[in-house]
Structure 1
Amino acid sequence: MQEYPDIEDHGLIGDLQTAALVTRDGMVDWFCAPRFDSPSIFAALLDRQRGGYLRISPDGIDYQRKQLYLPDTPILITRFISPDGVAEIIDFMPIAGDQATDQHRLVRIINVVRGSMPFRLECRPRFNYGRDRHELERYPDGAVFRSPTMALTIHPVYRKRRIQQQDIREEDGDLVAYTTLHEGDKGGMVLETGPTQGPRVYDIDEVQALFEQTLDYWRRWIGRSKYRGRWREMVERSAITLKLMTYAPTGALIAAPTASLPESVGGTRNWDYRFAWIRDGAFSVHALLGLGFTEEADRYMDWIAARICEAGENSVPLKIMYRVDGSSDLPEEVLDHFEGYRGSAPVRIGNGAAEQSQLDIQGEALYAMHLAGDYGIRTFHQTWESTVKVVDWLCRNWDQPDAGIWESRSHPRDYTFSRVMSWVALDRAVRLAAETGRPGDTAWWIQQRNAIYNQVMERGYHRGRRSFVQSYGEEHLDAALLILPAVGFVAPYDPLWLSTLRAIDETLVSDSLVYRYDPTATPDGLPGDEGTFNMCTFWYAEALARSGRVDEARVTLEKMFTFSSHLGLYAEEIAPTGKQIGNFPQALSHLSLINAAITVNDLLQHPSPYAPRQV
């Protein structure tokens, strides 16, 4: 068994209901089905021995590895190059559609381009996070793995050369096969979850048709992008990645397709991100509208609206996260039998932060609702009635401590960011009522909005630090406050803001990369350190541009792009070594990349006529 690859040495493929990670060595080491948040089938990413994997790689030879996406698609090509031959694996998942299904197909095609190459194929599933045993049923034309809750079928694909039965062997209920393929040979497998009629041989022309359909879907989709600025390739790769992390039946956007990848290798900050945060969905509305993807933004708003209606019916605030189907039961559990990525334990599934109070959530939801309205996405009557109840709840409850955007597991605080986003919620609610003629107690909303504003200016700005600070009564900084100009709480050239930006420069920025806060100065209830936070670095670039430091913003973006993976993907954080850490890929990283690229590009083309004043 090979060592753990770097987190960034993976490609992501998916069918808009679930996804898989593929290493540069041809191993699928993460795959959950039938949904993103379902138990794993392959989880060698978290335990090389007990997690399970599907691997196709050259056998017994030295070779070089290269990996790329087919342009404008998430179809992954992994190339193996040796003196005697060149071969490639083409990995993709046909689109599953808008109706939830248990049946998902992962297609792996081997194509020998030159010479010949020996291959070893291994399928070693470990169902339900390695907790369920399975049985193997072999057939002349494939195999079926069965666990108490899942069936996994291998359908072989052939054109010229068929793997002989004597070259396939069973090892403790797993399958291992050997074959040598020559120039012009094409074969592989279709891996299918859910009930089937049994395995069968896929004709190569049938697989080619699936390939063409998948290729056409993605190229038509990204062809609708209206972005024509600098960094187009990075922006459109981020858009495709966000689309891959969208659960089509409901429109929910997951934070990441992985669970428990560490924020510090060997540390304990390991969380399950396979759920849909209101915050991520709301920010993605901004990103997708900026690219012209109005239909996708509308779907996200449908999902957010459904959560608002549920909250409004019970006159309670929004929860911070949900499962992709909208349910909110996310109990946190530790998988003691998994060692964790490179020994990073505990391995957690579920997320205990789901029960936290985070008052900013209402702000992100109303911000997205108002922005969507500017693009013609109107709120229905029932949604507005529920919105009024949520806003009224916020008027009664905004002035209380919470866990904050970073989901602290220490004591609640009066977080400045939470207050600012509560101000955003009330401000956008007032605007929506005025612009649409909808009813609401706007006089009360305005009164409470103004009270929040005055409180933040009085208690959230530290005169000694000359900066807005993380929480009242403390002097520590927080990169979340970089969003203040973007949401309109302060003018980007306000002296109070410019001094805040300089304080962040001096305290949280390291060679253009941005730490979200200092966990040693503001304990969050967890041991250990973390890397710089990718979303915050992109927020920093956007804040620089808005505040007149456009050239610095451009350099910050260009530097940040050097930290992307070989495929243009980003995890949550960058380690001091320059490696990516945290769950991968991360929606917040990619949607903030899009927003920063749009803002910086616009301001490079059309600089603001207002010069910042000296403080």
Structure 2
Amino acid sequence: MAGTPQETYASDGCRYQPIADHGLIGDLRTVALVGTNGTIDWYCCPAFDSPSVFAAILDAERGGAFELATAVPARTKQFYFPDTNVLITRFFTEDGVGEVQDFMPIGEDAVETERHRLIRRVLCVRGALPFRVRVAPRFDYGRRAHTVRLLGDAAVFESPALSLALTSTVPLESDGADVWGDFKLTEGESAVFALDQVDARLAPRMCARAEAERQFATTVAYWRHWLSSSRYRGRWREMVHRSALTLKLLTYAPTGAIVAAPTTSLPERIGGERNWDYRYVWVRDAAFCVYALLRLGFSGEAEAFMKFVTQHIIPGDGGPSGPLQIMYGIDGRTDLPEQELDHLEGHLGSAPVRIGNAAADQLQLDIYGALIDSIYLYDKWAQPISSDQWDNVCDLVDWVCDHWNQPDEGIWETRGGRKNFLYSRLMCWVAIERAIRMARRRGLPADLAHWMKTRDTIYRQIMRRGWSDVRHAFVQHEDGDVLDAALLMMPLGKFIAPTDPKWLSTLDALTQDLVSDSLVYRYDPQATPDGLRGAEGTFSICSFWYVEALVRAGRVDEARLAFEKMLTYANHLGLYAEEISLTGEQQGNFPQAFTHLALISAAFNLDRALG
């Protein structure tokens, strides 16, 4: 639970921190993962999808890390400074207690923002403690050599494409590649380390204790002011607000883009090949994020994403997979070539490590429903869309009317060939239905007769070919008998009444086949091969969809129990990766926006049902 600090041992000697043993800090441009042992082992600069500087989470030897901890064995606990994204790691030893405050300042002027400053402030709060710091960057995923220059209280790391300056209030030593230092603090004393991007405009600048204190206060004030806009006052406020703060951290402020996750290649199964780069804008994920943020009252983020859509996604160029790609770069670019980094061993040896994502070229028809639904909600809850935006919506809906009845790769981005996935049909129905609602509510021009005829045709086909008399359930693809958790969206998308007998039978079938202790598998890869080897864990967004489907079906007690169980699978800070293993470990890229937005939606609807 978010309110229970994680306890680990800083001197356990393990090469890899578990995925869940991390907290997240960021500056709305990039992020860093900080382990419970005090090590930053994931950091890309200057943006989410830039090459890594620290990537020990993907290769403990060659990835690079920023280590900061007591020089003696310690128990550690980690928590967020209340209502912020400032992370605190505490060290408990026989001789005293110390803590490291990690944050990336927000609220500075435009030029200073480009430093992407990362501050690590160390305090001794009781007794006296020895500390050790070691900064070992490995630029460009460990592919680029660098040099180090010591300049008084600063060390400048220089590589061909990026230079970073580490300023310190304690003496540093260097071997030409890394820097380190040993120091001792007594009660009330502190030390400060700041890592900045430097270039011709940004010279190294000392981050003294007073400046660190000021930037700490500014950053705390920023996050608390932002969170104060939340309208959520329900039973699970701490978890919902942590999810909201996490979604905000996954926002790229310069464009309004929202990344699916800030990491790449964290394995969906240890030792498996299901390792993907999620540092991009999935149309589906980002559109669902808009729904979650609007639910809480954060209309500014929704407006920023709509601007990203208008400038970079609509209108599209009409590529081989239609007018939309399924994902874009955070700057709107469409070229995301996938490659494998053979020199990195992967988290716990889980190769390959991939950057880029070949799924960008897939056809996934469901994204049109997700996007147009988010536009519909924005138009309804935030502010009316413009005439140009409506023209773009019409173009997309007309395309969906002409192309909905074809096989695609589906929501799960399978690499086993295209199929007539029912979820894709469902979301094409959503795309058209939401556009019809907008047109009618605002009197906007539209070919309503054609849209309504196509909408009804899709409905009839889903009911006829998506229903299995053998399984007494709706199924993954037309004329099949395999179940799929994506169909939990049928009542959530208002396609079918949540108490319809056919839906209740489907819900029972899903519960029987795909649910384990409230956790939900996406599908059975043995029954429906997806082109990849090995099994996977349960998919956390599906588990929250399941909660919401139970709520809408009137099974509120079951829903509440399932929701409370899901909360026990969060990490110590209330964060979720993409999947959960058989033994309850977090798997996949971390933290995942998809999961946190589904948590918000489930909590909101469960609260409303409980009254």
TM-score (norm: length of structure 2): 0.95
| Contact map agreement 1:17 1:96 (CA 8 A) in 2 | no
Could you say which residue in structure 1 is the equivalent of 2:565?
Answer: 559
Between 522-531 and 100-109, the greater mean CA deviation after superposition: 100-109
Alpha-carbon separation, structure 2, partners of 1:460 and 1:445: 21
| Contact map agreement 2:149 2:176 (CA 8 A) in 1 | no
Alpha-carbon separation, structure 2, partners of 1:258 and 1:93: 17
Could you say which residue in structure 2 is the equivalent of 1:351?
Answer: 357
Q: Deviations over 1:519-549 (max 9, x none)?
A: 1111000001100000000000000000010
Alpha-carbon separation, structure 2, partners of 1:422 and 1:115: 63
| Contact map agreement 1:135 1:147 (CA 8 A) in 2 | yes
Could you say which residue in structure 2 is the equivalent of 1:294?
Answer: 299
Could you say which residue in structure 2 is the equivalent of 1:609?
Answer: none
Task: After TM superposition, give the deviation of residue 205 of structure 1 in Å.
Answer: 1.3
Task: After TM superposition, give the deviation of residue 199 of structure 1 in Å.
Answer: 3.3
Alpha-carbon separation, structure 2, partners of 1:266 and 1:97: 42
Please point out which of 355, 363, 373 is paired with 2:379: 373
Could you say which residue in structure 2 is the equivalent of 1:108?
Answer: 120
State the AA in 1 paired with 2:175.
Answer: E
Could you say which residue in structure 2 is the equivalent of 1:572?
Answer: 578
| Contact map agreement 1:483 1:539 (CA 8 A) in 2 | yes
Superposed, 1:190-205 pairs within 5 Å as 190-195=194-199, 198-205=203-210
State the AA in 2 paired with 1:272.
Answer: D
Task: After TM superposition, give the deviation of residue 461 of structure 1 in Å.
Answer: 0.9
Task: After TM superposition, give the deviation of residue 441 of structure 1 in Å.
Answer: 1.5
Q: Deviations over 1:419-460 (max 9, x none)?
A: 000000011111111122222212111111111000000001
Superposed, 1:394-543 pairs within 5 Å as 394-543=400-549
Task: After TM superposition, give the deviation of residue 558 of structure 1 in Å.
Answer: 0.3
Alpha-carbon separation, structure 2, partners of 1:202 and 1:17: 21
Alpha-carbon separation, structure 2, partners of 1:570 and 1:304: 27
Could you say which residue in structure 2 is the equivalent of 1:581?
Answer: 587
1:323–1:546 distance in 2 versus 1, CA, 3 Å: same
Task: After TM superposition, give the deviation of residue 197 of structure 1 in Å.
Answer: 5.0
Q: Deviations over 1:59-112 (max 9, x none)?
A: 1x2211010000100100000011101100000001277979642100000000
Could you say which residue in structure 1 is the equivalent of 2:28?
Answer: 16
| Contact map agreement 1:99 1:249 (CA 8 A) in 2 | no
1:177 pairs with 2:188: no
Superposed, 1:172-251 pairs within 5 Å as 172-195=176-199, 198-251=203-256
1:463–1:190 distance in 2 versus 1, CA, 3 Å: same
Alpha-carbon separation, structure 1, partners of 2:238 and 2:461: 43
Alpha-carbon separation, structure 2, partners of 1:339 and 1:598: 41
3-state SS in 2 of match to 1:261 = coil
Task: After TM superposition, give the deviation of residue 194 of structure 1 in Å.
Answer: 3.4
Could you say which residue in structure 2 is the equivalent of 1:64?
Answer: 75
Please point out which of 40, 58, 61 is paired with 1:46: 58
Task: After TM superposition, give the deviation of residue 284 of structure 1 in Å.
Answer: 1.0
Please point out which of 149, 152, 163 is paired with 1:140: 152
Could you say which residue in structure 1 is the equivalent of 2:10?
Answer: none
Could you say which residue in structure 2 is the equivalent of 1:160?
Answer: none
State the AA in 2 paired with 1:68.
Answer: F
Please point out which of 305, 310, 314 is paired with 1:305: 310
| Contact map agreement 1:56 1:120 (CA 8 A) in 2 | yes
Could you say which residue in structure 1 is the equivalent of 2:367?
Answer: 361
Alpha-carbon separation, structure 1, partners of 2:299 and 2:313: 20
Q: Deviations over 1:562-594 (max 9, x none)?
A: 010000100000000111000000000100000
3-state SS in 2 of match to 1:399 = coil
3-state SS in 2 of match to 1:601 = helix
| Contact map agreement 1:320 1:358 (CA 8 A) in 2 | yes
Could you say which residue in structure 1 is the equivalent of 2:143?
Answer: 131
TM-score (norm: length of structure 1): 0.95
Alpha-carbon separation, structure 2, partners of 1:204 and 1:102: 21
Alpha-carbon separation, structure 2, partners of 1:585 and 1:96: 24
3-state SS in 2 of match to 1:529 = coil
1:82 pairs with 2:79: no
1:4 pairs with 2:16: yes
State the AA in 2 paired with 1:93.
Answer: M
Superposed, 1:586-601 pairs within 5 Å as 586-601=592-607
| Contact map agreement 2:150 2:174 (CA 8 A) in 1 | no
State the AA in 2 paired with 1:471.
Answer: H
C-alpha RMSD over aligned residues: 1.5
Could you say which residue in structure 2 is the equivalent of 1:611?
Answer: none
State the AA in 2 paired with 1:28.
Answer: I
| Contact map agreement 2:192 2:209 (CA 8 A) in 1 | no
Alpha-carbon separation, structure 2, partners of 1:155 and 1:258: 26
Alpha-carbon separation, structure 2, partners of 1:438 and 1:151: 52
| Contact map agreement 1:312 1:387 (CA 8 A) in 2 | no
Name the % identity.
Answer: 52
1:371–1:126 distance in 2 versus 1, CA, 3 Å: same
- For structure 2, the 5+ residue unaligned runs are 1-12
Could you say which residue in structure 1 is the equivalent of 2:6?
Answer: none
| Contact map agreement 2:315 2:323 (CA 8 A) in 1 | no
Could you say which residue in structure 1 is the equivalent of 2:38?
Answer: 26
Alpha-carbon separation, structure 2, partners of 1:292 and 1:309: 25
Task: After TM superposition, give the deviation of residue 200 of structure 1 in Å.
Answer: 4.1
State the AA in 1 paired with 2:292.
Answer: A
| Contact map agreement 1:277 1:321 (CA 8 A) in 2 | yes
3-state SS in 1 of match to 2:316 = helix
State the AA in 1 paired with 2:362.
Answer: Q
Could you say which residue in structure 2 is the equivalent of 1:37?
Answer: 49
State the AA in 2 paired with 1:335.
Answer: L
Alpha-carbon separation, structure 2, partners of 1:288 and 1:136: 43
